[in-house]
Chain A
Amino acid sequence: MAARRRLVSALLVFLCASSVFSGAESQEATLTGGHRAAAVDDPPTDTERAEQAAEQPAVEERRWEATEVEEATPDEAAGEKQDTSAPGTAAPSSAPQPKDDFQEELVVRPLHSGDIYASFQFRTLWETDFSRENKVSHYRLFPKSLGQVISKFSVRELHISFTQGYWRTMQWGQPFLPSPPGAELWVWFQDSVTDVDGTWKELTNVLSGIFCASLNFIDSTNTVQPSASFKPLGIGNATDHRFLRYATLPREIVCTENLTPWKKLLPCGSKAGLAVLLKSEKLFHSSFHSQAVHIRPVCEDRQCKTTSWELRQTLNVVFDFYTSGQGKREWSLFKMFSRTLTEACPLASSSKIYIDVTDNPQGEQFELSPATALLSQAVVLGDRRTFSVYDLTQQITFGSVRSLNLLIRWKTTEGDMLRPLLHAERYVAGYGLQTGEIHTLMYNNHPYRSFPVLLLDSVPWYLRLYIHTLTVTSKGKDNKPSYIHYQPSKDRLRPHLLEMLVQLPPNSVTEVTVQFERALLKWTEYTPDPNHGFYVGSSVISSLVPSIVAMDTNGTLKRPLFSSFFPCKEESSFFVRIYTEPLLVNLPTPDFSMPYNVICLTCTVVAVGYGSLYNLLTRSFQIEEPSPGLAKRIANIIRKMRGVPPL
């Protein structure tokens, strides 16, 4: 019920926002056309084009949909008639300008705990410039809603993730794309934005509508500007963190209502390609679910003369088939997603499935069917992995039954995972509701190499951190951070931000502790379930970790000797970002049922003070005369009424 209401309100917000866009943009277009007169060679054509564009967006969008339908139907028909026609090549050929490109892939990695990790990535690349041209109105593969967001809010980079469940690094290793539980949003704005906070506020509201999520709860009390932890991932070397905003909502629940709008951003929707596997009844029946959207500018080619925008939609999910399958370790695409694959997305230039077979070179651990001869090697997160590749654009992949149902049957339950080189955990220590202590433990499992990590903590204002109690210890010794950036909180305005650079000694645990005091809030500031506690977002640990490939100094068997003395720069270390658990902290609560009683009682006490002082100040001492008896008083009243002098 609540979800539906939120959905409706979010849609309303989005509708309003988009109507505002179309109104505002036509104005803006003419304005900026005038402003940039100096920069653009031919201003009249520029404004003309803008006006044209402003008149026609709805028409063009319809045309785009129509062509898509036209394209799709003969394509499907062709696919049914002839197996040999490749759908992947058919789609872009009819496009007038092949400036955009769509790729999809699924990586499946059997985990040592018996779980299955499936990671979808959909990448749309478009060579356009949202910021320079006044109006981008012709959208083909790139979703229009996001394109408008980028141009309207001058976004340089946008990363948003919704996660349900916590990624267990110790059991599952590193994820391809890490994300904290709940919702996370970080955005780099263009330098041209003047009111960054206002733009951020609007952007979160619009995104809240697009993704049907409660991102509108992002305000100044949970937004920070990290100084070092979040660098732009795309091109451009903007390092002024005034244009960066980072916020997490650890309490956000991710469900179908967030998945549906996310799927709608895909060019094929959930009709064809890998996205047919994304059925919410299976995806949300999992140990971990994370969906994300990353938008960034990237280089078009090696010279980087032109930039294009990359939209990367990722979805990571971990299924636990070991416990649900009564200890039988066997899975298939059908078992995971209750669907099999029959075709690639016709609009995709590449559509592949990768199965991680690194631990299974001779097939002694599990059996993979149908088998494929195609193998691929890649260094992923500092580790050289081998993958079996299934190319969905090749009809041969689907075989004679015209459907692909990958199946893995485990032969042994053995096998141990190399411990992740870096992992972290966090908890709250202390008892009672007055004070507490946040402990963050960071493990460096590298046998001989120490490396620095950047720790970012954003703690809400109602846990008052005492920075003088900050201690960093590793191996029982004080480990002084070489860089500390601390921004204290302001009550009801902004959270604490603590960033520090800590060197982790090899094979050690580093413990960071800081004490805090729990504030008593106003009764209206508590959540509807105050005794559930308040969430504190995950700490973010970013680091360049020495890779396992470089660690392997003895692995000279396969490589020539001359190539293996100095570790190669690319492979010697890799970037890792890990998120700790969010915290759940209880605060002292007032009694919510008695505001009236409290107001009355306190005012009574103040009145007692006022009354007694007023009495003593205004009255004077007098001798008490005996008061007449009751009968006499009544008699006097009667006499007064009669007009007779009193007794």
Chain B
Amino acid sequence: MAAPLTLLLLVAVTVRAALFRSCLTELIAERVEVVSPLTAWKRVVEGLALLDLGVSPYAGDVFHETPLIIYLFHFLVDYAEVTFMLADVITAVALYMAVADYNKQVFRKQKYALEADRYPLDCLELIRSPKEMYYIPLKVAMFYLLNPFTILCCVAKSTCGLNNAIIALFILTTIKGSVLLSAIFLSLATYQSIYPLTLCAPALLYLMQRQYIPVNFRRFSFWWFIAQYAFMYLGSLFVLVCLSFFLLGSWDYLPSVYGFILSVPDLTPNIGLFWYFFAEMFEHFRLFFLCVFQINVFFYTIPLSVKLKEHPVFLIFMQLAVISIFKSYPTVGDIALYMAFIPVWNHLHRFLRNIFLVSCVLLACSALFPVLWHLWIYAGSANSNFYYAITLLFNVAQILLVSDYFYAFLRREHHLTYGLYLKRKDGSEATLVLK
């Protein structure tokens, strides 16, 4: 398997290197779909320039990266292209290894279940074979590396690529069962952009499952494990925050990074739901809706964890998708990360209801973004509503995609318990409905 992966990495790096050398780089780096005020490379350079002028980068409202990013690029600014390509490669390899390991476990579990005769007899066609699972890790890496969204994100040098790498490493370490590293990478991801905080629920579920700790509120071992993980997580977060303080000698970065993420003062258009909503919001309702929208990201964690407590990896996928839809400054890089997981769920395809429609809408919207942007900003023949309409449609498509996968996953689980061909009481063929 190493040879195809190497080939894939080579192809991906070549594509990126070619694009870096082309005249498209500047165009891509300006696209609002690819870079947000949080992740734009132009703003990283501005932060470094401010630092050179002896002004704190957080004195103004242009730079919103964390101090560690400044520190990193203080040394690597000349090798930025290599850094971003490396970040993509790391993400792809980490996802590859994580998915390979996960598939092994899935297969092992399936084998035990088969041996214990836990599946109904007519479910044999739902059983996954090693042959079809063999190429999944490679497909995941390919979905990430050759996804146009990822390529654009890398060519624009959006720091979203680095955040994705951290999250991918977090997933890898979690699946490999390393509690400490998982906590460290999770705290790094949280430190970069608050939202990955919700990933601690699937991480805990997965690690407990792996260590055969039952998810039971009355058990001491459950709470002990949570305490351990929380201690490691909060400890490394504390270290990171203090380290950032000592790097710049002030707490200015807290309001400038996290306040900026949470209070959404910059209404630059992007593919998310926030910008136009808060541009048109009545001032006295602003705080209320800000809270509603921000809570929305964190709100689904607990019910999803309850529902998917046996399937933490699917929960990670769901959480990543929810974050990338409802976060305040989303870019296509965030979408690329959760889309990389789609090959992992290719056994669900027979239960998907509207995948064709959704993928058509997603493709059409991706093409329409630059067109309507041009009409609004450059040609002046359209107005902001056009671009806004496309962002709405794009988000509806994403929501449908995610809920479709969720539906298919739940349905397959149902079939694995109750049999594939269900019968009504009168013996005719039954249809399943949600009630």
Q: Which residues of A contact B (CB under 8 A)?
A: 431-435, 461, 464, 466-468, 484, 486-492, 496, 517, 519-524, 588-591, 594-595, 598-599, 601-602, 605-606, 608-610, 612-613, 615-617, 619-626
- Whether the pair A595, B326 counts as a contact (CB closer than 8 A) is no
Residues of B within 8 A of A623 (CB): 422, 424, 430-433
- Whether the pair B376, A598 counts as a contact (CB closer than 8 A) is no
With contacts defined as CB atoms under 8 Å apart, how many contacts are there between chain A and chain B in the complex? 165
- Whether the pair A616, B407 counts as a contact (CB closer than 8 A) is yes
B1 interfacial contact with A, CB 8 Å = no
In whole Å, how far is A166's beta carbon from the nearest beta carbon of chain B? 27
Residues of A within 8 A of B224 (CB): none
Q: Which among A435, A484, A594 is the interface contact of B280 at CB below 8 angstroms?
A: A594
Residues of A within 8 A of B430 (CB): 623-624
Given contacts A466-B42, A623-B422, A624-B433, contact A489 B61 (CB under 8 A): yes
In whole Å, how far is B353's beta carbon from the nearest beta carbon of chain A? 11
- Whether the pair B403, A519 counts as a contact (CB closer than 8 A) is no
B377 interfacial contact with A, CB 8 Å = yes
- Whether the pair B280, A523 counts as a contact (CB closer than 8 A) is yes
Residues of A within 8 A of B53 (CB): 467, 484, 486
- Whether the pair B410, A520 counts as a contact (CB closer than 8 A) is no
In whole Å, how far is A626's beta carbon from the nearest beta carbon of chain B? 8
In whole Å, how far is A547's beta carbon from the nearest beta carbon of chain B? 34
- Whether the pair B384, A486 counts as a contact (CB closer than 8 A) is no
- Whether the pair B61, A588 counts as a contact (CB closer than 8 A) is no
- Whether the pair B377, A609 counts as a contact (CB closer than 8 A) is no
Give complex CA distance A610, B403 in Å.
10
In whole Å, how far is A527's beta carbon from the nearest beta carbon of chain B? 15
Give complex CA distance A605, B393 in Å.
9
B62 interfacial contact with A, CB 8 Å = yes
Q: Which residues of B contact A (CB under 8 A)?
A: 30, 32, 42, 45-46, 48-50, 53, 55, 59-62, 265-269, 273, 275-283, 293, 296, 300, 303-304, 307, 325-326, 376-378, 383-385, 388, 392, 395-396, 399-400, 403, 406-407, 410-411, 414, 422, 424-425, 430-435
Give complex CA distance A626, B432 in Å.
12
10 nearest A-B pairs in the assembled complex, by CB-CB distance: A488-B60, A468-B49, A612-B403, A619-B434, A598-B280, A432-B378, A595-B280, A623-B430, A602-B277, A609-B399
Residues of A within 8 A of B403 (CB): 609, 612-613, 616
In whole Å, how far is B405's beta carbon from the nearest beta carbon of chain A? 10
- Whether the pair B61, A490 counts as a contact (CB closer than 8 A) is yes
Residues of A within 8 A of B396 (CB): 605, 608
Given contacts A466-B42, A522-B279, contact A601 B392 (CB under 8 A): yes
Residues of B within 8 A of A589 (CB): 383-384
Q: Which among A461, A594, A621, A625 is the interface contact of B385 at CB below 8 angstroms?
A: A594
Give complex CA distance A570, B288 in Å.
65
Taking CB as reference atom, which chain A residue is nearest B278? Answer: A522
Taking CB as reference atom, which chain A residue is nearest B393? Answer: A605
Residues of A within 8 A of B425 (CB): 625
Residues of A within 8 A of B61 (CB): 461, 464, 488-491
Residues of B within 8 A of A435 (CB): 30
Taking CB as reference atom, which chain B residue is nearest A598? Answer: B280
Given contacts A588-B376, A599-B281, A616-B434, contact A519 B267 (CB under 8 A): yes
The residue among A432, A490, A492 with the most chain B CB atoms within 10 A of its own CB is A432
Residue contacts A-B, CB under 8 angstroms, 14 given: A433-B376, A487-B60, A491-B61, A520-B384, A588-B269, A588-B377, A594-B385, A599-B281, A602-B273, A602-B276, A609-B399, A610-B296, A620-B435, A626-B424
Give complex CA distance A492, B264 in Å.
13
- Whether the pair A520, B275 counts as a contact (CB closer than 8 A) is yes
Taking CB as reference atom, which chain A residue is nearest B285? Answer: A599
- Whether the pair B410, A621 counts as a contact (CB closer than 8 A) is yes
Q: Which among B300, B395, B432 is the interface contact of A622 at CB below 8 angstroms?
A: B432
Taking CB as reference atom, which chain A residue is nearest B318? Answer: A613
- Whether the pair A605, B49 counts as a contact (CB closer than 8 A) is no
Known: A464-B61, A487-B59, A594-B280. 19 other contacts (CB 8 A): A433-B378, A466-B62, A468-B45, A488-B62, A519-B266, A522-B267, A523-B279, A591-B383, A598-B276, A598-B388, A599-B280, A599-B281, A601-B392, A602-B392, A605-B399, A606-B326, A612-B403, A613-B300, A625-B425
